[in-house]
Amino acid sequence: MSTRTNIVIKSGNTKIWLYRHMDGYLSETGYNLASTLAHCKGFKSFLDNLLNQKYEATMYRQAKPIYEFTTEEHGDIEYLYSFEFDRSMPKNVKVIIESCASWDDRKVLINTEFSITPQNVEKNLNLIISEHTKARNKSLKVAWNSGAGAK
């Protein structure tokens, strides 16, 4: 099963909706968004960077975009990531991340505003960083226990 997610990116009257079909959870999409945000100069560079990311090509499919445009929030998403950039101060952003069990059952996981620097992203989006670290450590432990390091 895929973990579907929407990303909404706003600046002034501009609102862009993106959709990601796979890996929408905090430790993957959340971490990717936070890492991208940490090195952007504002709305346009954040959006451009996301739109240029691709899943690698395999023997069975060509490389394809990770994020694709959509017109609105999908009804079957599990996470909604919102980024609102301040037009007067482009390096300022408001980030809201929601877990979406259904239209009526939502939980705000993060609601914060900050000036974009790698340090501020790490500090304000710490939940994402810790989920990514947990997932990475779990993968390493599974690899170790399956024989990669147990020789």
Residue, of 105 and 151, whose pLDDT is higher: 105
Place of tokens 């450590």: 137
Average pLDDT taken over every residue of the chain: 91
- Give, in order, the Cα–Cα distances in Å from 19 to each of 46, 59, 90, 98, 103: 15, 25, 23, 15, 17
pLDDT beyond 90 at 69: yes
Residues of the chain above pLDDT 70, percent: 95
19 and 9 Cβ atoms separated by less than 8 Å: no
pLDDT beyond 80 at 151: no
Q: Which residues contact 110 (CB under 8 A, 6 or more apart)?
A: 95, 96, 97, 124, 125, 127, 128
61, exposed or middle or buried, with CB in 10 Å at 0-12, 13-18, 19+? exposed
- The alpha-helical segments, DSSP class H, found in 6-147 are 31-38, 43-51, 118-124, 126-143
Confidence of residue 136 (pLDDT cuts 50, 70, 90): confident
What residues pair up with 54 in beta bridges, in sequence order?
A: 65
Place of tokens 């226990």: 145
What residues pair up with 82 in beta bridges, in sequence order?
A: 8, 96
Alpha-carbon Rg of the chain, whole angstroms?
16
Confidence of residue 148 (pLDDT cuts 50, 70, 90): low
Q: Which amino acid is at 89?
A: M
pTM of the model: 0.88
